[in-house]
Structure 1
């Protein structure tokens, strides 16, 4: 099976988990431009996250980077990604594929480029 076909199957499977968790959108009584398809925006979001590209560098076959970014922002504010995480973890646990005996946390650390050399005492920054 070609990798492009597998990628589309994976995207479709992810979409089926995410779609029911999306907030409902009421039509604007004043009309206006129709909304870009949620699935197309989801595909653009997944592409951006997997490839770590800038939103404005999404390939032309996705909705505009601004549209995908706004949809990502709105879904984040609505708690969609936290809900997706709970669903996936629940599915893994139900299938017996979640092993919590050993967990890892990964995070990037970067030097402060604005001249900060020392840590501020706790509570001093808010004073």
Structure 2
């Protein structure tokens, strides 16, 4: 059994097409392959190590390299696309039970009360009878 951060060929075939191309004229040494960087990112996420603790001898590139690639992919919306692709594939294989679902609305901006309600409360409080 392989380590959970290792990306097999079938999964890589789904992910690779949505990765942004590497700029033709980028400065510096030849970049670490995307697949290796992804495996480095997954290793950090699975184990909880810091980026600085990513062992260079594994060939995933430095922690800084993997972190930068993760930022680049996040800005390009790669993970949203991969999520949709995987959901569609699992749904087509009937491997998702849609009878139970959880919706997380924590990213939705919460309203701060009814407009004017704070003013009404403060007016009502000032009219309260004295307790002395």
Instruction: Please report the TM-score for the alignment, with normalisation by the length of structure 2.
Output: 0.68
Please tell me whether Structure 1 or Structure 2 has the larger radius of gyration of its CA atoms. Answer: 2
Size of the alignment, in residue pairs? 104
| 8 A Cα contact 1:41 1:71, kept in partner | yes
Query: Which consecutive residues of structure 1, in runs of 5 or more, have no partner in the other structure?
Result: 107-120
Give the alignment's Cα RMSD to 1 decimal: 2.5
The answer as to 2:56 corresponding to 1:40 is no
| 8 A Cα contact 2:7 2:35, kept in partner | no
TM-aligned CA deviation for residue 105 of structure 1: 6.3
2:18 is matched with 21
Query: Which consecutive residues of structure 2, in runs of 5 or more, have no partner in the other structure?
Result: 105-110, 114-132
TM-aligned CA deviation for residue 74 of structure 1: 0.4
1:86 is matched with 84
> Aligned partners of 1:14, 1:48: CA distance in 2, in Å?
19
Name which of 50, 54, 63 aligns with 2:46. Answer: 50
Name which of 88, 98, 101 aligns with 2:99. Answer: 101
Deviations 1:57-101 (A, max 9, x none): 112212100000000000000000000100000001101111121
Instruction: Please report the TM-score for the alignment, with normalisation by the length of structure 1.
Output: 0.70
> Aligned partners of 1:20, 1:37: CA distance in 2, in Å?
14
Name which of 59, 63, 75 aligns with 1:77. Answer: 75
| 8 A Cα contact 1:21 1:80, kept in partner | yes
